[in-house]
Structure 1
Amino acid sequence: MKKIILYLAAAVFAACSSNPEVSAPTENLNEVLACTDAKGLIAKYGEKSVILDTSIISGDDTLKGAIIFPGTAKQASVFFHEGKISDVSIQGDNSAWKTSSGLYLGLTLQEVEKINTKNFTISGFGWAHGGSVVSWEGGKLAGDSLLTHQVSFRNKRQNISVEEFNKVSGEAEFDVRHPSIQQMNPTLEQITILKPYIPSKEEGKGIAKKIESSQIPVR
Structure 2
Amino acid sequence: MTAPTYNQAILELAQAGLNALNQWSAQFQSPRTPAQQSHYLCSWMVESLKLKRFDKLVADNLNEWIRNARSQGAGAQLPQLLSSIVHHYTIAKQYPDALGDKLQQLLTALDELDWLVVDDASINAKLKLASNGAASIVVSVDELEANIQAGELISPITLYARGNETQLGQQALQHGIILTPGNKKASLIKHHKAYQIGVANQLTQLCLLTPFDA
Q: Please, what TM-score do these two structures have when normalized by structure 2?
A: 0.29
Which of the two has higher C-alpha Rg?
2
Higher RCO structure, 1 or 2 (CA under 8 Å, sep 6+): 2
Q: By percentage of residues, which structure has more strand?
A: 1
